[in-house]
Amino acid sequence: MLFNSLEFLVGFLPIVLLIYYLLPHRVQNTFLVLASCFFYASWDWRFLLPLLVTTSIDYWAAQRMEASLVLNEPTSARKKYLITSIVLNLSLLGFFKYFNFFADSATLLANTLGFNIGTRTFEIVLPIAISFYTFQALSYTIDVYRGEIHATKSFWDFFLAVLYFPHLVAGPIQRAATLIPQVTNPRIISSEKIREGLHLIVWGFFKKIVIADNLAPIVNAAFSTPSPSGGVVTVGVIAFAFQIYCDFSGYTDIARGIAKLMGFEFMLNFNLPYFATNPADFWRRWHISLSTWLRDYLYKPLGGNRTSTIKVYRNLMITMVLGGLWHGAAWNFILWGFYHGFLLTAHRVMQPLLLLMGKTFNFTPGLWKWFTVLCMFVLTCYGWLLFRATSLNQVVEMSIALLNPLEGIQRDLVKQVALIISPLLVVQIIQFRSGMLFFTQAKAFPRFLAVIAYTLMIYLSVFHGGQPQAFVYFQF
Amino acid sequence: MSTSTIMRVAIYGLIYGLLSLTTLEVAARVDDFFRERAPLLRPYSINNLFQSSQLGKEGVPNAKFAKWQMNSLGYRGPEPISGRANIIVFGASESFGLYESANNEYPRIIEKTLNETLNNRFNVINIAMPGIRIGRVTYLDAALKKTQPQFVIVYPSPANYIGTTTAFCGQPVRPVADQRTLADYSRFIGKAVETGKKLAPEALRTVLGKYTIWSASRDQKPIEKMPIETLSAMEKDFGCVIDTIRAGGGKPILITHATFFGVTLKESDRAMLTAWRRFYPNLLEDGFIDLERRTNELIKDIGRREGVPVVDAANIIPGGPEYFADFVHFTDKGAKKMADLVASKIIEHLNQTDAGQTSRAIK
């Protein structure tokens, strides 16, 4: 059941909201567990089994660690439960998501070297959202281990925190420290939350249905063109940059909006990422819930910035490559992670030079800033080529085509892409200049204009949506 | 909450509600203007294509809506080219064309096929009108006088005779009442209704269809099959049509009525049959199949008796969703199949005529 399906919008969501509002807090939680199970099982009821295993292991490990903490046992006692949790979680994720990829890769490598290692693969159905809920559940046990939060007493509260349907399938990856208190304590639904929730839902659907789904055929055509010209690649990659942004941030907005309608607060996942001025800035703005997760649970434990320069670079590369691999079991995701690791490292290396250039152009700070934004956007777009490509051959072919980026460019296609993304650009400029992500609350938006804007968004979503597509991040 | 707060919320709600509705209507009109060059202020719906007249109802000259374009004579399609012989297609919505892409309704394809084969000799004029009964000979007669066709293709829609037992031919004609609804005046409502129909899940459509049938037939018990009088009325109308065409100097060609259900009804197609019945709730589902069968037998019988060529589309065009977009209306592929059958019949007839003339000349 997709957010953009009629059964969700007209059936599931209104019924769930209606019943939810009528129930007292504890019953609300039980009801949300049932509703979330129904939502998840609508794909395949068997998906509930690995989710139940993950949450049970983490609940048990957290309980043991909490008990150990109360008994003042040494850290090593807690560590074994943490390791059990991490190993079992990652084994489950590894089996479902990466087993066939590594088995195939190992076979290929062995064959290349002249060995026959006879590995076998399995017909594995990848449970939707497994990457998201594994990371979310892991953050819980790690936080309990670190003593940053107490283990929750109720399994069902923890189960709901992981399973809660708005964020289950594609995030934002919520931290236990912020979500579990919202589950255990009664939630307050204010008129402001409802207003913000509705805003996020309308804007999220607009981005998904009007922008992402209308860009999808252009992107698909560009990435399925044999031997594409530079112009085709340029337009295709730029279109994909906006497609994936609107698709994923649209999903996140809808998820955050639905959560707000129920009194929950989800973390911000996107903060104008294409206005980033450098790679580090980009990762502070793009998929924030994942990048902060990787920062807190991988980069920092590896040593983070507080180590030798070479090790910092190593940590960046490891973090980004694993971040790439998190997206999927394919070499292009690893390459994409490696590319972003390289950008982060290169930016650190070049920082003194960039600072000097910034000072040189200090007489026009605006121009320098926009120049860096443009450069970062171009670099990001190349990353999207790596991300979207279906094979390494295609990466090479398209990269070569980009040496002549305007060759064979189709003006009509450029106009079409420009027309589709123009509402997003207008809104993002308002958001950027006003500093308000809820752009209709900006000064430029009197109330009547906001009513007109919402109405137009709904009109365009209903009558000018593209062919409905599944959310890109559902596959991860 | 105090009374003044409630009043304030209600007033603002009303103002913003009205603003929102106005925005939706303006957006729909601007949208139509940019996409289809539709007028901003005048009504724009499929009902713009037709008007009440002394002939009952007829097409509006040069009217346009979405993919439908009327010519200066008030018939769907392009202007007839002078110097060519005319062929008329007379029928209901199946011939007018509903679901086919623009210029792929079967009369257009007949014209294209004939002109490719016979060196640009024909205009095919589509005088069909949704809902028309073939007994409306005054309308046909007016078209014959305007166009003086060589052939007239008659493709009846038997369902339009459901509920009637008297022939239309010879009855006085009154202007048909305007059937415009709110959806014709509010572009937004029109679009919303169409989108709702497209998006509604199959299960919901079935439930609504069954409710419509139930509510329409609760005061009157539905009948199992159409009485013989209905077929007699149809037969009389066919007679009038053939006489009118011949009096106008044309050669009639009859076509049996093809449906989604093909020659034999499959159990899996019953949902589609129920969907059809929604428009004629007083006849039970199996009655439609019976009516089709009896009408097609009648058409073949009239063809034999009157010496009129008959295209047996009902037996040749396979049923199913590949050829039919709903119970009776064609897809592009269905329209092509139909056009090929009719064009072959015309070519066959022209060949026979040419051979006859040659042999008479030799004698």
pLDDT digits (tens, 9 = 90+) for B103-118: 999 999 999 999 998 8
Q: Which domain holds residue A226?
A: 192-475
ipTM of the complex: 0.75
Q: Do A462 and B24 touch (CB under 8 A)?
A: no
| Two tokens, residue A419 | 């027309």
Say whether both A427 and A285 belong to one domain: yes
Q: Out of A6, A455, A463, whose CB is closest to B23?
A: A455
- For B124, list phi and psi in degrees, rounded to 5: -105, 115
Whether B27 contacts chain A with CB within 8 A: yes
N-terminal to C-terminal alpha carbon distance within chain A: 16
Catalytic residue numbers of A read 327
* 3-state SS class at A455: helix
Whether B191 contacts chain A with CB within 8 A: yes
Say whether both A336 and A447 belong to one domain: yes
Residue type, A205: F
Q: Which of A57, A39, A201 is nearest to A128 (CA)?
A: A39
- For A256, list phi and psi in degrees, rounded to 5: -65, -40
Say whether both A270 and A415 belong to one domain: yes
Give the pLDDT score at B284.
86
Question: What residues contact A60, with CB distance under 8 A and at least 6 apart?
Answer: none
Give the pLDDT score at A177.
85
The stretch B233-251 carries a mean pLDDT of 93
Domain boundaries, given as residue ranges, for chain B: 1-42, 52-362
Q: Which of A172, A187, A202 is the last residue of a domain?
A: A187
Inter-residue contact A448 to A196 (CB < 8 Å)? no
Residue A266 lies in a domain: yes
Say whether both A153 and A200 belong to one domain: no
| Of B327 and A437, the one with more pLDDT | B327
* Per-residue b or e along A125-141, where b marks 16 or more CB atoms closer than 10 Å to that residue's CB: ebbbbbbbbbbbbbbbb
Q: What is residue A209's DSSP assignment?
A: I
CATH for the stretch B52-362 = 3.40.50.1110
A447 contacts on B by Cβ (under 8 Å):
16
Give the pLDDT score at B350.
86
% of chain B residues with pLDDT over 70: 96
Residue A315 lies in a domain: yes
Inter-residue contact A161 to A176 (CB < 8 Å)? yes
**Successive 10-residue mean pLDDT values, chain A, 476 residues:** 82 92 88 90 82 86 86 82 88 77 73 70 70 86 88 87 85 86 89 90 94 94 89 94 94 94 92 93 93 91 85 90 85 91 92 82 77 93 92 90 88 93 91 82 81 93 81 62
Say whether both A333 and A437 belong to one domain: yes
Average model confidence (pLDDT) across chain B: 88
Inter-residue contact A210 to A285 (CB < 8 Å)? no
Say whether both A379 and A446 belong to one domain: yes
- Tell whether the model's pLDDT for residue B95 goes beyond 90: yes
Say whether both A96 and A173 belong to one domain: yes
Residue A1 lies in a domain: no
pLDDT digits (tens, 9 = 90+) for B40-69: 888 888 888 998 888 888 999 999 998 999
Residue of A nearest to B201 (CA): A6
Q: Which of A459, A4, A207 is nearest to B191 (CA)?
A: A459
- Tell whether the model's pLDDT for residue B138 goes beyond 70: yes
Of A93-97, A100-104, B209-213, B229-233, which gets the smallest average pLDDT? A100-104
Residue A136 lies in a domain: yes
Q: Out of A6, A447, A459, whose CB is closest to B24?
A: A459
- Tell whether the model's pLDDT for residue B362 goes beyond 60: no
Say whether both A283 and A245 belong to one domain: yes
Give the pLDDT score at A406.
86
The stretch B227-255 carries a mean pLDDT of 93
Question: What residues contact A329, with CB distance under 8 A and at least 6 apart?
Answer: A97, A98, A100, A101, A102
Say whether both A175 and A228 belong to one domain: no
Instruction: Give the DSSP per-residue string, A377-425.
Output: HHHHHHHHHHHH-SSHHHHHHHHHHTTSTTTT--HHHHHHHHHHHHHHH
Beta bridge partners of B89: B126, B153
Mutant choice from B6, B21, B23 vs A, greatest count of A C-beta within 10 A: B23
Q: Which of A416, A376, A397, A35 is nearest to A219 (CA)?
A: A416
Say whether both A78 and A49 belong to one domain: yes
Say whether both A299 and A384 belong to one domain: yes
Structural domain count, chain A: 2
Mutant choice from A447, A456, A463, A464 vs B, greatest count of B C-beta within 10 A: A463
Say whether both A244 and A142 belong to one domain: no
B33 contacts on A by Cβ (under 8 Å):
none
Q: Do B16 and A452 touch (CB under 8 A)?
A: no
Q: Do A452 and B201 touch (CB under 8 A)?
A: no
* 3-state SS class at B323: coil
